[in-house]
Structure 1
Amino acid sequence: MQFGISTFVNDDTIDTVTLARAIEERGLHSLTIAEHTHIPASRQSPYPMGGELPSIYYRTLDPFVTLAAAAAVTSSIELITGIALLIQRDPIITAKEAASIDLISGGRFALGVGAGWNIEELRDHGTDPKTRGALMDERIEAIKVLWTEEPAEFHGKFVDFDPAYLRPKPVQKPHPTIYIGGDSDATVRRVIQHEAGWISNPSPVEHLTQRIEQMRAGAGHEIPLTTFGTPIDLDYWRALDGLGYRLVNLLLPTKPRDESLRLLDEYAAKVAEYRG
């Protein structure tokens, strides 16, 4: 099992270049970046973790720009969107951005996607909350077609385009790993339907076990498992390892440069302790 970092990179925190280099220098495996395009000032959607919504959510940098910058200054770490809010994104542009990062990085990109929780945010993008699940399903399949076929075409209820050329194609074949974010029966269905992996939050081990068993029971493919926001807890890590997680992304708080580097040193020491 590998260990990486998941975080929100803001405009007042450690910069992307320093962060990416520091992760790689410490022998960690990945950088996973969250996405929120904006947060409406007046909203009714409750913060899933409870309480007030932290400002990191509306100050976070664009994940594709961030990962492209990280790709340019590293040579080994995996670069993951965790998660890109695909219900708010044009699939053709997203396919191009993702393939471009995969090319720039030499095949180190993975696309984590989800349907999001902030209803006001997605409405601002013209998305109907009632059909966001079906919209995401079509956009995932359209991106896979754009990555793998030439010319590519897709005809669905929400995504519809005639044969078109899209370059670059991803370096990874047939395409980069797609991770589905979420924690519901619909998430399980999507992982199976799209032959994808799962990017999970740090839920209790018993709950993760149940979800993974559901996925494996219905899937005809190996399910890559990764995380966003994993705490520093060696017993929890052991449990994730036992469940078959290939990559655990530790939660790096959104902090200034020096504090972030200090935490990365602590995390690297904990990983070394775990590995014995």
Structure 2
Amino acid sequence: MTTVGLCLPQLGPAVDAGLVRDFAQTAEGMGFDHLWVQDHFLYALVQEGEYGGSAQAQPERYQSVWAPTELLGAVAAWTSTIKLGTSVLVGGNHYPVQLAQRLATIDQLAGGRLDVIGLSVGWSVEEHRAMGVDPSTRGKRMDDFVPTLRACWGPDPVVYAGPFFEVGPCLMQPKPVSEFRLMSGMWSGPGLARTAAQFDLWNPGSLPIPAVLEMLATVNAQRAEGRPPVDVIYRVALENTAGKRLTVDEVAERTAEVREAGLEGVIVETNFCSEIDSPAAWMSLLSGLEPVLKAARS
């Protein structure tokens, strides 16, 4: 069965705690499989480099973004059965040892429902500099970021030494309830090679499904012998950052394509829908997404 998840309300001035709670609990009651968070923490007034989304410049919705791990911690307490995931966390916004502890704590609070940890190298030069991270090292830093995380979630004592991060010997608790699956949000040639080497899943955004399958074949051709193939959790926006709008029926059709292709799941993004100007508008949009669930399970 193809899973269907939703990006949590996280961006823009309409977000408040009551909305996040109501959205999460309603989505759980409707039968959605996952709730997902994304990751930005500042809006550069002077932007260096290109924006990584579909628009030419960073959308105004990014002027307010609720922090991903804190949001997941609250949603873990407000829900009881729906799974949780990150799509995606930017490596340069975090240090892996502290992130490992935060994610393991959320998983414990959620009773093991933090299922997938999505990671990518990010695009914001300004966010990297604010974290004291050289943006030119994004890829190489990610090569060391993933094994550092895995070491921290592994047996104690934790010992790891790499070109960017050094840990232990030390004790690190809590551990995740079960092993996380890691999902790559990288699309470049080096990023796809990194996906093949270090990740379990790939989040290709809203590329056409035939292109996704072609690129996935390239990833799995690079996969080490004996490792299970990388699968896909596909992301589709009801309205993308450039303002291109899909109807709910079109999102359902794309979800059916994902199911027919045998891919694992779909994430539906609603944070950029232009009609959202209040919590009520967000909840109204959520109530109309039932056809997407039906498309995944037909």
TM-score where L is the length of structure 1 = 0.92
| 1:222 and 2:265 correspond | no
- Cα distance in 2 for partners of 1:50, 1:229 equals 15
The one of 205, 208, 231 equivalent to 1:204 is 208
Aligned to 2:160: 154
Contact 1:226 1:245 in 2 (8 A): yes
Q: How does 1:182-261 map to 2 (within 5 A)?
A: 182-219=186-223, 220-231=227-238, 232=248, 233=250, 234-253=252-271, 255=276, 256-261=278-283
- CA distance in 2: counterparts of 1:8 and 1:264, whole angstroms: 11
Between 5-14 and 259-268, the greater mean CA deviation after superposition = 5-14
Kept after mapping to 1: 8 A contact 2:184/2:199: no
- Structure 2 counterpart of 1:132: 138
Amino acid at match of 1:115: V
- Structure 2 CA distance, aligned partners of 1:171 and 1:58? 35
What is the alpha-carbon distance in structure 2 between the residues aligned to residue 62 and residue 139 of structure 1? 20
Other-structure match for 1:178 = 182
Q: SS state of the match for residue 31, structure 1?
A: strand
The CA distance in 2 between the partners of 1:269 and 1:210, in whole Å, is: 28
Shift of 1:122: 1.1
Question: Over aligned residues, Cα RMSD in angstroms?
Answer: 1.8
Q: Does 1:117 align with 2:126?
A: no
Which deviates further from its counterpart, 253-262 or 143-152? 253-262
Deviation at 1:247, TM superposition (A): 1.6
Letter in 2 for 1:61: W
For the Cα contact (< 8 Å) 1:5–1:30, is it kept in 2? Answer: yes
Within-5 A mapping of 1:19-34: 19-34=23-38
Greater mean alpha carbon deviation, residues 262-271 or residues 10-19: 10-19
CA distance in 2, matches of 1:42, 1:63: 24
Aligned residues: 274
Distance 1:9 1:180, change over 3 A: same
Contact 1:8 1:56 in 2 (8 A): no
Match of 1:40 among 41, 44, 51: 44
Partners of 2:156 and 2:296 in 1: CA distance: 46
Q: Tell me how far apart the structure 2 counterparts of residues 204 and 43 of structure 1 sit (CA, whole Å).
A: 29
Letter in 2 for 1:2: T
| Aligned residue type for 2:236 | G
Shift of 1:139: 1.1
Aligned AA for 1:72?
A: A
> Match of 1:228, SS?
strand
Instruction: Check conservation: 2:256, 2:295, Cα contact below 8 A.
Output: no
Is the CA contact (8 Å cut-off) linking 1:7 and 1:229 kept in structure 2? no
CA–CA distance in structure 1, aligned partners of residues 9 and 111 of structure 2 = 24
Q: What are the superposed Cα offsets for residues 73-100 of structure 1, whole Å, 9 maximum, x if unpaired? A: 1111111111111122111110001101
Q: Is the 8 A contact 1:195 1:221 kept in 2?
A: no
TM-score, normalization by structure 2: 0.86
Determine the C-alpha separation between the residues in 2 that align with 1:227 and 1:183.
13
Task: Give the match's secondary structure for 1:229.
Answer: strand
1:164–1:49 distance in 2 versus 1, CA, 3 Å: same
Alpha-carbon deviation of 1:197?
A: 1.1
- Aligned partners of 1:180 and 1:191 also within 8 Å: yes
Q: State the alpha-carbon separation in 1 of the partners of residues 96 and 58 from structure 2.
A: 28
The 1:143–1:199 alpha-carbon spacing in structure 2 relative to 1, beyond 3 Å, is same
Unmatched runs of 5 consecutive residues or more in structure 2: 239-247
1:30/1:274 CA distance change after superposition, 3 Å: closer
CA distance in structure 1 between the aligned counterparts of 2:41 and 2:128, rounded to whole angstroms: 9
Match of residue 58, structure 1, among 54, 63, 67? 63
